[in-house]
Amino acid sequence: MTRRTVLICSWLEPELVERIRRVDDRLEVLHEPELLGLPRYIADHTAPVTRTPEQEARWRQLLARAEILFDFDRSSGPELATRAPRVRWVQATSAGIGDYVRKMGYAESMPETVFSTASGVHARPLAEFCIMVMLAFHKKLLRSLRDQRERRWDRFAAGELDGQTLVIVGVGRIGKEIARLAKAFGMRVVGVKRTIAGVDPQSLHLDALHAPGDLHRALAEAQNLVLIAPHTGETSGMIGARELATLPQGAVFINIGRGALVDEPALIESLRSGHLLGAGLDVFAEEPLPPANPLWSMENVIVCAHSASTAYRENERITDLFCRNLRRFLDGEPLLNRFDHALGF
Amino acid sequence: MTRRTVLICSWLEPELVERIRRVDDRLEVLHEPELLGLPRYIADHTAPVTRTPEQEARWRQLLARAEILFDFDRSSGPELATRAPRVRWVQATSAGIGDYVRKMGYAESMPETVFSTASGVHARPLAEFCIMVMLAFHKKLLRSLRDQRERRWDRFAAGELDGQTLVIVGVGRIGKEIARLAKAFGMRVVGVKRTIAGVDPQSLHLDALHAPGDLHRALAEAQNLVLIAPHTGETSGMIGARELATLPQGAVFINIGRGALVDEPALIESLRSGHLLGAGLDVFAEEPLPPANPLWSMENVIVCAHSASTAYRENERITDLFCRNLRRFLDGEPLLNRFDHALGF
């Protein structure tokens, strides 16, 4: 019986490691938590790692044996190919890995290695984040909290999601889940998607579906706009000053995709002028968001520190996905969520 | 043809008054906006009124003729019976009118007059408020906003509504709408209702339905609790220290009913101790909330100035209801939302 060696590369709850071990007798799961970064919060997959020289040597030994990685080894970065020459598959813990894989040059250095993303795992928390942001702005929560800090009792009327239009740019699993919740609130939901041929909008909980060429037509009616497209050559900077100006006055802007999708200075200007009612931002051109960035102090902005997708149950869901993929790997079946270097997602 | 005289008693958009006029030729609609209080916000129904002696005399003339009132005449208060002796029906603009009607003594002074509430009109904005508050606490929005004010990039993991239990005390039209939205988020929803005999929980979007006698059993599993029961002798102070202690650690408490439903000092203590994760409060023991009340400054409290139900489209919805009721009144049919003095709602 050929054994397959799995190396756990970021902190994972022991009971979840056990669940991985139990998938199949043919697996050898290497898990030495003292060699991994200590998580700063639940489901932290980018915790800084410090190892003694002895620990680093030990880690290199594990890498040299590993055929399957649970998460990228961020301590190796671009050296991964040379340090882990036997690796055939990396299961990522993030959905949007295109930027990282490109930066590390893995397409060139590890041409035989399959990468699979955690796409789908973050759908629920991200969809909840979008609904929360739309409610917060249209129902004037931030105004209410400011009144509260000043102990001011000032009654007010507010909008509601019912009857509003939401445009979602990028309708993968996350976009579909946002659409499903938005429909429950009585919103009209329009999707913009790279490939729309043969796609039934209703199957994605959408009232209408447009190709990227019709982006402007969609934006013109977007009282709410959510960006959740992957970052690729096509989507980079897709929302600039002209696109923001196309949004109706008083629109709510949400970015849970990647900061590079939007021209950040143009976004700041659109928020300053009051053209946008508000923005809920989980991703930024530069992360961590630099202290001098004006977005921090804008009263109509909710800054989330790239944490909108991070839920208490995240590692449990990633482990579920990994276990399903392990069975497929052992059975020679195609992996779920296989990353495509050419597409970038 | 007998004409019926309608008097508009709080500020209403002219186009909505026109809609009322068009209901039937038998209606004479008295609308003199200069005699009404100027709204401080859209759908303000308690705006202070100041009239010159001449204006007050004119107002008394209108009251003397009126048979149907759109909204209470708050400038008359307990004198309404003597000033408006021909009134047979008052259409309120609020859903919870029990406290006001009791305080004004209308059951005694106007025994022949029918009161109808605006029940149902506020279901959507209030349901959206409840979802917003649950999301804000479980997804750590207030923490995120505090980090933002200090320009601190601090990644975090958070909870989600999916899989949580919500208990709704009072399942009328508002409670049912809250339940419907909560089910879309994958929550388990339990109702507590005065009369449950013959009620199918599923018809109210509930997973389970309890009578008030089983309140404690329901509270023990309430990771989220919404109070939306009317204020009556039975519900007054129904949530005290013991009931709050019965809630699981980390529960979210929401009151959109009436302040008198809860023992406010006990609630403050439960929030201070950290037993409750947070509270979203639209109603208070005393309104406006007194400046010295500790709720104002608590970091785990969202104070909304009794505005959670006030939506831009509120007057439109109340007018729709009033027009339907006018047709019923003219046709001698029973009114929708008829208030029952004995029940208090």
pTM value is: 0.92
Task: Say yes or no: B92 and B131 in one domain.
Answer: no
Q: Is the pLDDT of residue B344 over 90?
A: no
The A residues from 217 to 276 touching B (CB cutoff 8 Å) are none
Task: Say yes or no: B92 and B130 in one domain.
Answer: no
Q: Which residues of B touch A287 (CB under 8 A)?
A: 153
| Confidence band for B345, pLDDT divided at 50, 70 and 90 | confident
Burial of A160 (0-12, 13-18, 19+ CB in 10 A): buried
Task: List the Cα angle B13/A183/A186 in 5-degree steps.
Answer: 15
Q: Which residues of A touch B149 (CB under 8 A)?
A: 297
- For CA atoms A32, A37, A43, A45, the dihedral sign is negative
Strand A208-210 and strand A224-227: the pairing is unpaired
Say how many CB pairs under 8 Å bridge A and B: 157
| Candidates B42, B157, B314; nearest CB to A314 | B157
Q: Is residue B239 part of a domain?
A: yes
Q: Is residue A251 part of a domain?
A: yes
CA pair distance B230, B208, nearest whole angstrom: 21
Task: Say yes or no: A73 and A131 in one domain.
Answer: no
- Helices within chain B (DSSP H only): 14-21, 53-65, 80-83, 98-104, 106-109, 123-138, 141-149, 173-184, 215-219, 241-246, 264-272, 314-330
Model confidence pLDDT, tens digit, residues B87-108: 999 999 998 899 999 999 999 9
Task: Please spell the DSSP secondary structure of A76-97, one letter per residue.
Answer: TGGGHHHH-TT--EEE-S-S--
Q: Residue B255: what residue type?
A: N
Residue A162 distance to chain B (closest CA, Å): 8
B129 contact A CB<8A: yes
Q: Is the pLDDT of residue B2 over 90?
A: no
Q: Which residues of A touch B139 (CB under 8 A)?
A: 125, 128-129, 132, 308
CA pair distance B196, B249, nearest whole angstrom: 28
- The alpha carbons of chain A give a radius of gyration, in whole angstroms, of 22
Put simply, the answer to whether A305 touches B153 (Cβ < 8 Å) is yes
Overall number of domains in chain A: 2
Instruction: Quote the domain boundaries for residue A198.
Output: 123-303
Residue A210 distance to chain B (closest CA, Å): 26
- The residue from B258, B264, B314, B317 that is catalytic is B258
Which residue do the tokens 């995240």 mark? A314
Task: Say yes or no: B47 and B147 in one domain.
Answer: no
Task: Say yes or no: B273 and B322 in one domain.
Answer: no
Put simply, the answer to whether B302 touches A141 (Cβ < 8 Å) is yes
Task: Say yes or no: A9 and A105 in one domain.
Answer: yes
> Which CATH number characterizes residue B315's domain?
3.40.50.720
B185 contact A CB<8A: yes
The A residues from 291 to 320 touching B (CB cutoff 8 Å) are 291, 296-297, 301-308, 310-314
Q: Is residue B13 part of a domain?
A: yes
Q: Which residues of B touch A186 (CB under 8 A)?
A: 124
Q: Which of A13, A45, A129, A160 to mutate to test the interface with B (most CBs of B within 10 A)?
A: A160
Task: Say yes or no: A101 and A203 in one domain.
Answer: no
Active-site annotation holds for B112: no
B180 contact A CB<8A: yes
Structure tokens at A131: 């609904």
- Residue A228 near residue A174 (C-beta atoms within 8 A): yes
Nearest residue to A239 (alpha-carbon basis) of A250, A218, A196: A218
Q: How does DSSP classify residue A223?
A: S
Q: Is residue A336 part of a domain?
A: no
Q: Is residue A342 part of a domain?
A: no
Mean pLDDT value of segment B101-127: 96
Which residue do the tokens 């299961």 mark? A91
Structure tokens at B126: 């209030």
- Which residues lie across from A262 on neighbouring strands? A239
Mean pLDDT value of segment B310-333: 96
CA pair distance A317, A244, nearest whole angstrom: 35
Q: Is residue A270 part of a domain?
A: yes
Residue A158 distance to chain B (closest CA, Å): 5
Task: Say yes or no: B299 and B318 in one domain.
Answer: no
Q: What is the pLDDT along chain A (345 residues), one digit of tens a residue?
A: 689 999 999 999 999 999 999 999 999 999 999 999 999 999 999 999 999 999 999 999 999 999 999 999 999 999 999 999 999 999 999 988 999 999 999 999 999 999 999 999 999 999 999 999 999 999 999 999 999 999 999 999 999 999 999 999 999 999 999 999 999 999 999 999 999 999 999 999 999 999 999 999 999 999 999 999 989 999 999 999 999 999 999 999 999 999 999 999 999 999 999 999 999 999 999 999 999 999 999 999 999 999 999 999 999 999 999 999 999 999 999 999 999 998 888
CA atoms within 13 A on the CB side of B269: 11
Model confidence pLDDT, tens digit, residues B178-190: 999 999 999 999 9
Task: Say yes or no: B38 and B23 in one domain.
Answer: yes
Q: Is residue B343 part of a domain?
A: no
Which DSSP helix (H) or strand (E) runs through A191?
strand A188-192
Residue B42 distance to chain A (closest CA, Å): 6
- The residue from B4, B88, B180, B306 that is catalytic is B306
Put simply, the answer to whether A305 touches B156 (Cβ < 8 Å) is yes
Q: Is residue A339 part of a domain?
A: no
Nearest residue to B134 (alpha-carbon basis) of B207, B206, B185, B190: B185
Put simply, the answer to whether A313 touches B129 (Cβ < 8 Å) is no
B144 contact A CB<8A: yes
Q: Which residues of A touch B162 (CB under 8 A)?
A: 124, 128
How confident is the model at residue A219, as a pLDDT? 98
Residue B162 distance to chain A (closest CA, Å): 8
Task: Say yes or no: B54 and B146 in one domain.
Answer: no
Model confidence pLDDT, tens digit, residues B175-220: 999 999 999 999 999 999 999 999 999 999 999 999 999 999 999 9
B175 contact A CB<8A: no
How confident is the model at residue A264, as a pLDDT? 98
Angle of helix B123-138 relative to helix A123-138, nearest 10 degrees, comes to 130
Task: Say yes or no: A37 and A142 in one domain.
Answer: no
Q: What totals of helices (H) and strands (E) does chain B contain, helices first?
A: 12, 12
**Going by C-beta distance under 8 Å and a sequence separation of 6 or more, which residues neighbour residue A274?**
none
Q: Is the pLDDT of residue B162 over 90?
A: yes
| Confidence band for B241, pLDDT divided at 50, 70 and 90 | very high
B38 contact A CB<8A: no
Task: Say yes or no: A93 and A135 in one domain.
Answer: no
